[in-house]
Structure formats: structure tokens, C-alpha cells
Structure 1
Amino acid sequence: MIHPSYVELMKVVNSDAAEIGEEPVVNSRYSIVLASARRARQIIAGAEPFVANPKCDKPLSIAVEELYNGQVRILSEEEAQQLEESKKVQSESENVEQNVDTIEENEIIENL
């Protein structure tokens, strides 16, 4: 597979920011390399590729293809922090729901 150039990838990755008028997410090839490597490691670890029929079955090639197709996004630091916070809040609310369910089950058992 012939990989798109870094310049092409940067244009694709930054296309959302350009439409909105924000700062580009990716300012260097280094960011593209890091994102591709991280996604390749996820695929190696067992994550399902988002590409239905990848042109090549090497994890790095799949990761680059996903980035180029816009199936994987590189988040800005602010977006990454917001995502982590929302995951934390969601996890905490799920824990609260589980605790409430456990309390209700215990009450039912005690009332019998």
C-alpha cells in the first residue's frame, strides 16, 4: 500500500478545524506518527479495525488508512481532557446505579 503523504494526512485530520475556523489539531508530522503508532498498538492488542476491507493487513497501514478516511480522530489536548472527564463521570454514575441496585436487592431480601 502506498501511504498518503504526511501533508495529505495533516489536511484530512485538520479538515474539521478548518471548517469551524479553529486552530489545527495537528501542526507536525510527529503528531501523525504518534497517533498512527498508538492506533496500530490498539489493533495489535485486539481492537477491531474501523476499515472494512483494509488495503493491507499490517496494523500500521490500517491505522494510517483509518486516519486518512477520517474514521479515527486526533483529539486536541482540551478535547482529550473533556473526554476523560466525561468517561470518569459516566463511570461514577454507573457505580452509583450499581450501588443503588445492590441496596434495593438487599432491602428486598431483608423484607422477605
Structure 2
Amino acid sequence: MMLRPSFNELVDAANKYSGQEEPVVESRYSIVIAAAKRARQLIDGDEPLVDPKGRKPLSIAIDEIYQGKVQILSEDDTADID
């Protein structure tokens, strides 16, 4: 089974919507962690930012990242929030 979007497409989309010159996402690991965290938020009751269409939380999270509805922050940006 082919995954759509691919990891490369997700990395490109995440960096495109980050608003930063340097890429925020450079590895598949970053995408996996971000999607898992967002899926957990959805499971815990957060509203989806895209049409869920009966899909599972992880699929929704991936779609949100791909559409730029959820942004992945760098470690430096996360430290600024704390």
C-alpha cells in the first residue's frame, strides 16, 4: 500500500508552512513524532482542523501537517514558548 502523502511530501510541506528560512524538519523522525503528538491531542479531545471523514486520528494529524494547519516547531521555538 502506498502512503499519500509520502514522507518527503510531508517534510516539504512542513518546511514550506514553517515561515522560517532554515528547514524545521530534516528527518522522518520529526514528522513521526509531530504526527503522533497531534494524534494524541485529537484522541484527548482536540477538534480536528480538517474534515475527519471518519478517518483515524493519525491520518487526520498527517493531513493537518500536510495542509499546513499544524506547524512543527524547532527545539529553539519550543524553548521560547516555555
Distance 1:66 1:16, change over 3 A: closer
Matches within 5 A, 1:99-110: none
CA RMSD of aligned residues (A): 1.7
**2: distance between equivalents of 1:61 and 1:16?**
19
Which blocks of at least 5 consecutive residues in structure 2 are unaligned?
none
Identity between Structure 1 and Structure 2 (%): 54
Alignment length (residue pairs): 80
Name structure 1 gaps, 5 residues minimum. Answer: 85-112
- Counterpart of 1:38 in structure 2 is 37
Structure 1 moving runs of 4+ over 6 Å? none
- What TM-score does the superposition give when structure 2 sets the normalisation length? 0.86
Larger of the two Rg values belongs to structure: 1
Higher helix share: 1
Q: TM-score, normalised by structure 1?
A: 0.65
Q: Hey, what's the Cα distance between the residues in 1 that align with 2:11 and 2:4?
A: 13
